[in-house]
Amino acid sequence: MKDIQSQPDDRNMPIDQVGVKDIRFPVRVQDKRNGTQHTVATVNMYVTLPHNFRGTHMSRFLEILNCYEEITPSHIPAILEEMKSKLNAETAYFDIEFPYFIMKSAPVSNAKSVMEYICSIHGDSSAEFYFLKVKVPVMSLCPCSKEISRFGAHNQRSIIEISIKTRKKIWFEELITIAESSASSEIYSLLKREDEKYVTENSYNNPAFVEDIVRAIAVKLKAHELIDGFSVESENMESIHNHSAYAKIVYNIL
């Protein structure tokens, strides 16, 4: 049959990324406590396309992926090389994003519950690095509100995003701990009354602006010997305003 995608194109316009998005696929990731964890990822696969080709072969992305019953992060280098080879591309990109679950114990009652975090890995065949990202929900309490109020202070549920550039393996749990320890309080799926009392009082004793949160995390990431670059951002969803507070720090991420 006629290969339409391989027809020449005379517009002299190369494409930086072309491929398929939002594929749902089983993935197995390493779990610091339990060894491995099975979850389901959203997968994006792209390649570069030279200016002289009309299109790429979309079905080949799926053919490559479906050679695996499930993927693990260790498969990414081989998948990138196969994408380059089968699609005649100079550079290939592979992204997976998945929910990652950690069993947590409440701070006083020790009640156990599962917390969900969103994690992702980005692979680039032209880079020596991997890019890891975690999204971590936390609690922040406003220092200004605490200072000006006779009692109480308003707080926010905040989402911290940490993206790192690294050549070495780093546990997602380590990045999650860095995020949670830099907020007014970490949060939990299940809390008893004694736990709620502790979280409320603990956050009151650890007020933090959105600027404080990203700076505290950035200091820890910059000092980490396995992290070559990072970006950290926090969105604090205000409880007394109809907007969010936001801050971001980028260090040597490109």
Calculate the alpha carbon distances from 30 to 10, 17, 34, 76, 100 in Å.
47, 29, 8, 14, 10
pLDDT in tens, 96-120: 999 999 999 999 999 999 999 999 9
Residue range 34-43: average pLDDT? Answer: 96
pLDDT in tens, 131-150: 999 999 999 999 999 999 99
User: Do 65 and 99 fall within a single domain?
Assistant: yes
End-of-domain residue from the set 62, 86, 104: 104
In order, the DSSP letters of 57-116 are -HHHHHHHHTTSSSB-GGGHHHHHHHHHHHTT-S-EEEEEEEEEEEEEE-TTT--EEEEE
**Cβ atoms of residues 179 and 160 within 8 Å:** yes
Give the C-alpha separation, 187 to 179, whole Å: 11
Burial of 144 (0-12, 13-18, 19+ CB in 10 A): exposed
What CATH number is associated with residue 75? 3.10.270.10
Supply the range of the domain harboring residue 114. 106-254
Report the chain's mean pLDDT, rounded to a whole number.
94
Specify the number of domains making up the chain.
2
Give the C-alpha separation, 104 to 253, whole Å: 31
Element (H, E) at 244: strand 244-251
Give the C-alpha separation, 114 to 215, whole Å: 28
